[in-house]
A and B are shown apart, each in its own frame.
Chain A
C-alpha cells in the first residue's frame, strides 16, 4: 500500500478553471499576508494543455484580478481579433452576411489564442506561485466520509488488456485534501457522478454540442491575421443548433471549427462529415485556400447555460468552469467565465481553510461575476434554438437588446437529455448524405488522417476504457438508429458489424460525445491510463 498524500487543496483538472483557482488561491493568500496553502493540481493529459481544446477568442475580462498587466501583455497570442463577420450559409455555394449583430456579440480587440498554449502559460505562472502541478495522472474516484468529500484517488497504471498487473504495475494513490475542486471541463466523469448521486442537478439537464476543429497552415500573404468569421446554417439542418468558426490566429494559420448540438434528432447525421462539408463551402474555402491541415481535435461544449448549471457546492467540494456548465452558449465563450469561477472559488476556499467554513459561499460569489450575469442574460437563447435556427436567432437578438429581460419566462425546450428523442435511422437520407462526400486533399484530410494529427495515443495492452454495458442493446440500436456511434464519434473508434462491436479505443480523443449521445445509454467511458489520450500542442 502506498503512502497517503495530504494537501490543503486538490484541484482535479489543469484547464483554465483549475489553474485560475490555483493561481488565485496563492495570490489572494499572499495579498492578505497569509501563508500560501498547499495546492496540488492533477491532469490526465500527458503534459499541460494536451487535453484542452477551444476556439479560442478569449474575452479578456477573465484575466482581470487574476494576472498582472504585464502577464496579460505576455499571453501567448499572435493576433487580436481585428475584423469580425457573421454569415448565414444557405448552401455549399451561397451565404450572406448578417447585416446587424448585437454590439455585445462583438469580440473586436480580443486575443485569439491556442488554449493549449494559454494553459501551458498559466501553468508556468502557477508553478512560480508555488502551486504543484502533476500531469499524466487521471483522478478516477472521490473519497467521501460522513457526507463530506475528503479526497480522491488516482487511476492505476500498468494493467494489461485483461486487467492483470504487468511488471510495471503502479497502484492507485490516495490524496487527502481539505478542499477538492472539480475542474474537469465539460461532461466531467467525477463531476457528473457527484451531480447525479447527490442530486445537484440544475433546473434543466445539461445539453452539449460537439466541437470539431482543425488547425490549417495557409500560404503567407494570402490571409489577414486577426480576421474571424462565425457562421450559422448549412450544413446543419434548421432544427439543430449548429455553426462554424474561422479564426485567423496568425497570417499563416487558421483555426477552423464546427459545432453541432448533440440534441440533434436525425440518427444518420455525422458531425465529422458536416465539419468537412462546412470547410468545403464557398464561405470557408476562400479562408483556407491552398492550405494544409496540420492538427485536429474534438471536445464537447456544455451549452445548457444558466438553467442547466448544477449546484456548484457539496461539503468539501466545489465545481468550477465547464464542469458546472459555466459557458455563454450564445457566444460559445467559456474561458473567461472559467477564469472568473476560479477566482470566486479561491475566495471561498481560503475562507474555508481559515475557519473550516466558507466553501458554501462559492455559489453566491459566482453570481457576482460578470460572466454569470452574461449567462443570465442569454438564459433562454439556447432553448429557443431547439425550436429551430430562425426562432433562436430572433431570441438571441432580443435577449441582447433587452439585457435578457425578454423573454421573461423560461422558454421550453432542451428539457430532455441529449440521448433522448433520436429518430429512426433514415436509410435514404443517409445514402443521400454519403453521396455528397467531400474529396480528400491536404486541406480536407480523411477522418483517420485527422485522428493521427491529434497525436492521440493509448497503450494498446491495457483494458479498453470504453465499455459497452450490454452488447445485445447494440443490435437493437443498429436496427432502430443504425448504430449512430459509428457516425458521431469524431475519431472513428466504433465499428459495429454482424453483432460485433469493435472499439478502437486507441483513437479516442476523450471528447465524451459517445457517452452523451448513445441513444441506448449503453456506453460507459472510463479513464484510460493517465497520460494517454490526445497530445494537443496547438489546439
Chain B
C-alpha cells in the first residue's frame, strides 16, 4: 500500500504581524511551519504505515526552504519526500496548484495512482480548502472530505467518519481515495531526536515542471485564472457592549432584551 500526504509550508501565524502600510505579511522573524491541519493528515498516514506497513511519501510544492517541513515529516517517520519546486510554479492559484501537485504525485508514484492521498482540511494561509478536492479531480479518484476517523484494512476497504454540517457521515468504500483530514482525527506525534538525525541526511527528490511533464500553460501564474485584486486584514471589530449582571441578574436580562428589541431581533 502506498500513501501520499501533501503538506504545505505556511508562516507561523502565532507570530505574524501585518505591515499596516502595505497590508502584506511582515516575515521578519516569522518561522515557517507545517500547515497545522497537515500535521493531522501526516499522523493519519503514519498510523496507516504503522498498522498496515504502508509506504509513506510526503509531497510539498514550494520554494527550496520548504525542505525543512519535509525533513520534519521524515523525522516523524515518513519514508520518502518530494519537493515540487521551480520558479515556473510561482503565483499559482488553487487550480494550478492542484494540477501541479497531481502531476507530481503521479510522477513520484512511477506513473501510477497511489492507494491513498491525504490532505489537511485547509491551509491556514490560503484557507480555500480546494487543493485536496482539486487533486482528487485531476487524479480521478473518489474524495472524502473532513475525515475525523479512518478505519482501514489491508485489503483497502475503509470506513471513515466525516464531519459535516448536518452531523457525522459514516462513509464506506474501497481504495484508492483522496481524503482531507480534520483536527479531531488524532494528536500528531513528536519527532524523536534519532528520527531527526536520520532525516537530516535523507535524500529529497526535487521535481520541476519538466520532471512532472506539466503542460506549461497550466502551471504558475499562466495557469491561474484567479486574480488577486487586493489583500487586506479584516477591519477591527468594535468591542461590543457589556452588560454587567453580577449584581442583579433580572436587570441584566432586561437590558439584553431591550437591546435585541431595538435591533428588531426579538419582538
User: Which residues of A come within 8 Å of B, CB atoms?
Assistant: 2-3, 5, 42, 47, 116-117, 132, 134, 137, 154, 157-158, 166-168, 170, 173, 175, 294, 455, 457, 535, 537-538
The smallest C-beta distance from A20 to any residue of chain B, in angstroms, reads: 22
Cα distance A2–B187 when bound, in Å? 21
User: Which residues of B come within 8 Å of A, CB atoms?
Assistant: 14-15, 17, 28-31, 186-190, 192-194, 196-197, 200
Q: Are A168 and B192 in contact (CB under 8 A)?
A: no
Q: Which residues of B contact A5 (CB under 8 A)?
A: 193-194, 197
Q: Are A173 and B193 in contact (CB under 8 A)?
A: yes
Cα distance A47–B194 when bound, in Å? 18
Q: Which residues of A contact B192 (CB under 8 A)?
A: 2, 170, 173
Other than A137-B193, A537-B28, give 14 A-B pairs with Cβ distance below 8 A: A2-B192, A116-B29, A134-B196, A134-B197, A157-B190, A168-B188, A168-B190, A170-B192, A173-B192, A175-B193, A455-B15, A537-B15, A537-B31, A538-B28
* Contact A537-B29, Cβ < 8 Å, known A167-B186, A168-B189, A455-B14: yes
The smallest C-beta distance from A113 to any residue of chain B, in angstroms, reads: 14
Q: Which residues of A contact B31 (CB under 8 A)?
A: 47, 537
Q: Are A538 and B29 in contact (CB under 8 A)?
A: yes
Q: Which residues of A contact B17 (CB under 8 A)?
A: 294
Cα distance A140–B24 when bound, in Å? 41
Chain A binding surface, main DSSP class: strand
Most buried by A among B14, B28, B194: B194
Cα distance A362–B130 when bound, in Å? 59
Q: Which residues of B contact A173 (CB under 8 A)?
A: 192-194
Q: Which residues of B contact A158 (CB under 8 A)?
A: 189-190
Cα distance A538–B28 when bound, in Å? 9
5 contacts between A and B (CB under 8 A): A134-B197, A158-B189, A168-B190, A455-B15, A538-B28
Cα distance A535–B31 when bound, in Å? 10
The smallest C-beta distance from B199 to any residue of chain A, in angstroms, reads: 10
Indicate which residue in A47, A134, A167 contacts B193 across the interface (CB closer than 8 Å).
Answer: A134
* Contact A535-B14, Cβ < 8 Å, known A5-B193, A47-B31: yes
Q: Which residues of B contact A175 (CB under 8 A)?
A: 193
Closest to A120 in B: B29
Q: Are A535 and B15 in contact (CB under 8 A)?
A: yes
The smallest C-beta distance from A523 to any residue of chain B, in angstroms, reads: 28
Cα distance A154–B190 when bound, in Å? 13
- Which 4 A-B residue pairs are closest in the complex by CB-CB distance? A537-B29, A170-B190, A168-B189, A168-B187
The smallest C-beta distance from A165 to any residue of chain B, in angstroms, reads: 12
Q: Are B15 and A132 in contact (CB under 8 A)?
A: no
Q: Are A170 and B15 in contact (CB under 8 A)?
A: no
The smallest C-beta distance from B258 to any residue of chain A, in angstroms, reads: 32
Cα distance A92–B254 when bound, in Å? 49
Q: Are A3 and B193 in contact (CB under 8 A)?
A: no
Cα distance A42–B197 when bound, in Å? 12
Q: Which residues of B contact A535 (CB under 8 A)?
A: 14-15
Cα distance A173–B188 when bound, in Å? 19
Q: Which residues of A contact B29 (CB under 8 A)?
A: 116-117, 537-538
Q: Are A167 and B187 in contact (CB under 8 A)?
A: yes
The smallest C-beta distance from A23 to any residue of chain B, in angstroms, reads: 18
Most buried by A among B15, B190, B194: B190
Q: Are B190 and A3 in contact (CB under 8 A)?
A: no
Cα distance A116–B15 when bound, in Å? 15
Cα distance A152–B197 when bound, in Å? 16
Cα distance A132–B75 when bound, in Å? 14
Q: Which residues of A contact B194 (CB under 8 A)?
A: 2-3, 5, 173
The smallest C-beta distance from A528 to any residue of chain B, in angstroms, reads: 13
The smallest C-beta distance from A154 to any residue of chain B, in angstroms, reads: 6
Cα distance A512–B188 when bound, in Å? 30
The smallest C-beta distance from A157 to any residue of chain B, in angstroms, reads: 5
Q: Which residues of A contact B30 (CB under 8 A)?
A: 537
Most buried by B among A116, A158, A537, A538: A537
The smallest C-beta distance from A135 to any residue of chain B, in angstroms, reads: 10
The smallest C-beta distance from B15 to any residue of chain A, in angstroms, reads: 6
Most buried by B among A5, A116, A166: A5
The smallest C-beta distance from A335 to any residue of chain B, in angstroms, reads: 19
The smallest C-beta distance from A274 to any residue of chain B, in angstroms, reads: 28
